[in-house]
Amino acid sequence: MTNLINKIRTGISASLFLPALLLLIAASPVFGNGSPEGLPLEPSRTAMETIEGTESAVFAGGCFWGVEGVFEQLRGVQEVVSGYSGGDADTASYYKVGSGKTGHAESVRIEFDPAQISFEKLLEVFFIVAHNPTELNFQGPDIGTEYRSVVFYSDDVQKVTTEQFIRKLEAAEIYKDPIVTEVVPLDEFYPAEDYHQDFLRLNPGHPYIVYWDLPKIRHLEKMYPDLIADK
């Protein structure tokens, strides 16, 4: 944990959480994370079968584009899917979730090989790189309960591991503000619409990605070069 603390204190920079001025830019229709014109509004209901030999983790930390993009970089991660968790099946679509009234949070499901990367290491990346766990019901330019910070645990091991990790961060005073991440049981994960999947990888020049998410990738490469998968 000491090594982690030193890395965090020397590694976190303003590039991860951009100036407030960019809020106005990113919130505009051109720069926001709405669906591209003409694309379907309802999610693609693909089966979410666990890949043989892997485990899964479900995290929510703001817009799923960037969170998904971060975890797709990691060695041992087999698949990352953007979706919705925390609400019912009939409200698990982008525009319904965007109302902030469905109980859903924009989430990602990570299929990983525990022989290559541990659940705790995924937590470390989630809390240190993928989002800011002290922002209550918002991340960057995105405001609402659908952008809240959540670890949706699938068993008691994930629950205890997450709670212990949060206590370590708090004891080390990594953040000056309290961590507001919810730790709640996973009820169901619903895959998002096809046009949201692999969005960062497929749209690296999208203004939202450039301003808000590529800095996370650079931060990941700086702090955890040993975790990056071979291209």
What is the per-residue DSSP string for 193-217?
-GGGTTHHHH-TT-HHIIIIIHHHH
Cα 197 to the center of its chain, rounded Å: 13
The CA distance from 213 to 17, in Å, is 10
What's the domain range around 133? Answer: 52-216
Position 222 in a domain: no
Number of domains in the chain: 1
CATH number of the domain where residue 168 is located = 3.30.1060.10
Position 66 in a domain: yes
Position 8 in a domain: no
Rounded to 10 deg, the angle between the 214-223 and 2-11 helix axes is: 140
The CA distance from 5 to 9, in Å, is 6
Position 25 in a domain: no
Bridge pairing between strands 149-153 and 182-185: parallel
Position 147 in a domain: yes
Residue 51 DSSP class: P
Q: Looking at the DSSP assignment, which residues form a beta bridge with residue 191?
A: 83
How confident is the model over 61-112, as pLDDT tens digits? 999 999 999 999 999 999 999 999 999 999 999 999 999 999 999 999 999 9
| CB-count exposure of residue 226 (10 Å: 0-12, 13-18, 19+) | exposed
Could you give the residue numbers annotated as active site?
63
Position 106 in a domain: yes
Give the global pTM: 0.82
As a whole number, mean pLDDT of residues 187-214 equals: 98
Position 27 in a domain: no
Per DSSP, the three-state class of 222 is: helix
Query: Which H/E stretch holds residue 66?
Result: helix 64-71
Position 19 in a domain: no
With pLDDT > 90 as the criterion, what percentage of the chain qualifies? 76
How confident is the model over 20-58, as pLDDT tens digits? 333 333 333 323 344 333 333 344 334 345 677 899 999
With pLDDT > 70 as the criterion, what percentage of the chain qualifies? 78
